[in-house]
Amino acid sequence: MTTKLDQELSQEVSRRRTFAIISHPDAGKTTLTEKLLLYGGAIREAGSVKSRKAAKFATSDWMEIEKQRGISVTSSVLQFDYKGHRINILDTPGHQDFSEDTYRTLTAADSAVMIIDSAKGVEAQTKKLFQVCSARGIPIFTFINKLDREGRDPFELLEEIEQVLGIRSHPMNWPIGMGRSLCGIYDRHKTQVELFDEDDHDRIDLRPVSGYDDEVIMKMAGESQFKQLGEEMELLDVAGDPFDMEKVAKGELTPVFFGSAINNFGVQTFLENFLTLAPAPTPRKSDKGDVTPTDSNFSGYVFKIQANMNPAHRDRIAFLRIVSGKFDRGMSVRHVRVGKDIKLSQPQQFLAQDRDIVQSAYPGDIVGLFDPGIFRIGDTLSGKGEFRFDELPTFSPELFSKVTVKNALKHKQYQKGLDQLAEEGTIQVFTSVGFEDIILGVVGQLQFEVFDYRMKHEYGVDIQMSRMNYQFARWIVGERIDPGKFRINSLLVKDSHGQYVALFENEYAMRTAMEKMPEIQFFATAP
Ligand code: G4P
């Protein structure tokens, strides 16, 4: 029998979209996010997100490093409504020094939007973030931004996406001109043209046409651009990948949209198509099988822990992705790892402006839970029944530092800080085999700074870090592992679970080791 809760759940689940925006710094993520929030009425004026970025989040700033650099260290979550949909954007830090948190946040998303600067193409950070999304097999939507500037040829950009990222593409719309000669975009599916008007960002000028060969387009764009559009469309129709929803759902084909975020051009078309094509909250794997969002039993997992949101209180916020059931403020849930029931009394939801207390939430939503130190990354909470969601992967670090404590008398606090910060996922800790040196591994430089800061301010320990030359880490498994074989341009260490990890100075050293030791298996993430 269908209960009232079942109905409510299926309605709430089907209208939700939870996604992350991935891009390289400066591609336009803040600008696009801001335009999307404007559509949802979540912010009143353009510039709010931007000024937040520049003028240091007054409400959620939690560390001097953020203030000094004018960036947000940790990703936040933005929620807004648009035409009956409830949208959760998982904001990933856009600066160069992204961290493992950025990767982990991607595990909470059901789809991703990839922004590419039309002049720059696929850049380094986009590639890294793409790979994490791609490994999860989630749908990826592409927005090629800054059409108002002279960019690269659209075909060349598509080819780069396919070559560098290894995903097929299907342009949903196509630019008519570019840069100074930008006239509009032709929507291949709705057969309409959106005209570009640099001076009026509020007016969205859509003109229905009979096809790309409609005379109306010639009148708008002029003969040469009309002819070029015709040739390009013919080529796409013949040689391009056809639209295939199944492939989109599996992350094998990316729908591509063109536009200019700053001019609010192509943004609404993108949003509306995205909402139609992107998946509602999807099931998550657990040790007792898949958990579906419409299951009435409440469940979720912690994907991120943010410390010191308020430096005066040293509180922590655990970010919970709701997987199934309904969340009610004050409800009691099972904290599976510690085997205790806990009451979720101070949940917070993250809106564009401030942190609000949440009364109820549904699958796909992210809630922030007050954490007096009881949560770890990957923890499962369940209304009833004991099961655990699959552990979040440990991502392969790329930067390494040897760490020592300056004052030997502080060794106990140092060890405590090291254990806790590793548990929270701030850094990964390794021990060198034979020498017992402590080595920290991170994916972004900022994690070192966060570690140093928190050691000093939370544990009262001054530490010394010296950077090491290693760039790659591979977990290794084999019958006989000989530390002597990891001396040249490499080092053998153990992770916190006692598993062997080999560090390499360069790709060549790593490949050579793999070739010379075929009896050993190498893994990019902890097996
Ligand atoms: P990010 O969050 O991905 O780092 O990028 P952000 O939105 O901050 O945009 C980076 C720069 O690109 C900004 O310029 C922004 O105004 C510009 N931009 C974004 N979308 C477009 C677009 O469609 N066309 C053009 N021409 N520029 C765009 P800035 O000079 O760094 O900042 P500001 O001084 O304009 O605020």
Domains, the chain, ranges and CATH?
16-176+244-277 (3.40.50.300), 284-382 (3.40.50.300), 399-523 (3.30.70.3280)
Three-state secondary structure call for residue 467: strand
Cβ–Cβ under 8 Å, residues 178 and 150:
yes
Smallest CA separation from ligand 1 atom 34, residue:
50
Segment 113-131 mean pLDDT = 95
Select the more confidently predicted residue: 403 or 66: 403
More confident site: 393 or 187? 187
Q: In terms of Cα–Cα distance, which of 365, 190, 152 is closest to 266?
A: 190
Whether the predicted interface score ipTM is above 0.95: yes
- 3-state SS, one letter per residue, for 111-123: EEEEEEECCCECC
Which residue's alpha carbon is nearest to atom 14 within ligand 1?
26
Q: Which of 26, 33, 36, 257 to mutate to test the pocket of ligand 1 (most atoms within 8 A of CB)?
A: 26
User: Could you read off the pLDDT of 98-117 as tens digits, one per residue?
Assistant: 788 888 889 999 999 999 99
The protein residue with its alpha carbon nearest to ligand 1, atom 4, reads: 26
pLDDT score for 221: 92
Distance 420 CA to ligand 1 centre (A): 38
CA–CA distances in Å: residue 312 to residues 242, 307, 419: 56, 12, 23
How far is the C-alpha of 92 from the C-alpha of 76, rounded, in Å? Answer: 7
Please check whether residue 401 is in contact with residue 440, taking contact to mean a CB–CB distance below 8 angstroms. Answer: yes
321 Cβ neighbours under 8 A, 6+ residues apart: 18, 108, 300, 301, 303, 366
Most confident among 43-47, 285-289, 383-387, 424-428 (mean pLDDT): 285-289
Task: Please state the rounded mean pLDDT for residues 483-511.
Answer: 94
The model carries a pTM of 0.88
Residue range 498-507: mean pLDDT, rounded: 96
Residue 54 clears pLDDT 60, i.e. is over it: no
SS3 of 49, please?
Answer: helix
Bigger pLDDT: 408 vs 326:
326
At 354 the pLDDT is 45
Classify residue 338 by its DSSP letter: T
Whose C-alpha lies nearest to ligand 1, atom 27? Answer: 146
Distance CA 95, CA 105 (A): 15
**Cα gap 519→479, rounded to integer Å:** 8
User: Residue 305: its pLDDT value, please?
Assistant: 82
Contact 428, 503 (CB under 8 A): no
Q: pLDDT digit string (tens) for 168-200?
A: 999 999 999 999 999 999 999 999 999 998 887
Count CA atoms within 13 Å of residue 332 on its CB side. 5
pLDDT digits (tens, 9 = 90+) for 336-349: 999 999 998 766 65
Q: Which of 38-42, 202-206, 278-282, 479-483 has the highest mean pLDDT?
A: 278-282
Range with the poorest average pLDDT among 82-96, 457-471, 503-517: 82-96
Ligand 1 pocket (Cβ < 6 Å) reads: 23, 25-31, 50, 94, 145-146, 148-149, 260-263
